[in-house]
Structure 1
Amino acid sequence: MKRLYVLFLMITSVSISQNIKKDSGKYRVLIVITSDKNNVDFMNQIELLKNKSTEFEERKLKILQALPNFFKSDSDESWNPSPDLYQKFNKEKAAFKVVLIGLDGGIKQSQTTVLSAEKLCAIIDGMPMRQRELKN
């Protein structure tokens, strides 16, 4: 049973990385990372991002939440087991962190403080690919 669980975790970790790479060019990704889902900054960040789906949709933004051994996307109801996102984007083991990944797959913003929805949209709107989207 333990081997099956480890295999499941490995497959899930690989699929997360592949999905981010696969979505590169289609979506921007905001990863909200915390070591504890009761972290005040984490809860504030998630609250600030609620009810902004229209604004985020037009900016092609997906939101992922990452804990040390779990993750979930903005469309998931429950947490999925995987340490991949947390380990890859939080090597310094910050208690709270947000990471914005652009359409090209590069990190566009990384900070350990809460990011307002307005600042997030301004960062995205200032990106060259977003500027081209707005022109078209």
Structure 2
Amino acid sequence: MKNPLILKILILMSYFATKPMSAQNLDNHKWKHRILIVKTAVDHSERFADQLLEFKDSNKELRERKLVLYAIRQDEFSFTDYTNNMENYTGKLPEKGIKPMLNANEAFEIILIGLDGGIKLRKNDIVSREELFSIIDAMPMRRNEMRN
């Protein structure tokens, strides 16, 4: 291309167009982030809203624990990366990535995935921020992070 500005614009557009899809590839988070998935299968879920409200004003604590959040409502998702200035994406939930690990028979569920990619918590009730932080803080890698 003769115009470097157009080339830069095209590169940026392609980067941001693929960002929501790459955010859902859980392997991209391994050893970098703990993943919290909050899912509801219905449009208006009080538990879903209450669960997300539970983390309001906890950005610092979520960042310290290297958390990213996938808030999933039916087939739509919202992604928040607390480790990266609350970087946020939304989009359609694809068939690959997170969807296979969700329980289709549950209207509401919470899944916590550790840095190693293993499921550390799966629950169908609201998790308080204290309970979540306690679970994470008991993990060996988190204890090591706190020591250092």
Q: Give the structure-1-normalised TM-score.
A: 0.81
Q: Which has the larger radius of gyration?
A: 2
Tell me the matched-pair count.
124
1:15 counterpart (14, 22, 26) = 22
- Unaligned runs of at least 5 residues, structure 1: 1-10
Higher RCO (CA 8 Å, separation ≥ 6 residues): 1
Taking only aligned residues, the RMSD between alpha carbons, in angstroms, comes to 2.1
TM-score of the aligned structures, taking structure 2 as reference length: 0.75
Structure 2 stretches lacking a partner, 5+ long: 1-17, 81-86
Moved over 2 A (4+): 11-18, 74-77, 83-87
Q: Which of 123, 127, 134 lines up with 1:122 in the alignment?
A: 134
Structure 1 partner of 2:9: none
Q: Summarize the Cα distance change of 1:86–1:42 in structure 2 as closer, same or farther, 3 Å threshold.
A: farther
Whichever structure has more helix as a proportion of its residues is 1
1:48-88 residue CA offsets vs partner (Å, 9 max, x unmatched): 111100001011111111123111112436x3012446632
Between the aligned residues of both structures, percent identity stands at 32
Equivalent residues in 2 for 1:1-136 (5 A)?
15-18=22-25, 20-74=26-80, 75-76=87-88, 79-84=90-95, 87-136=99-148
* Aligned partner letter, 1:87: K
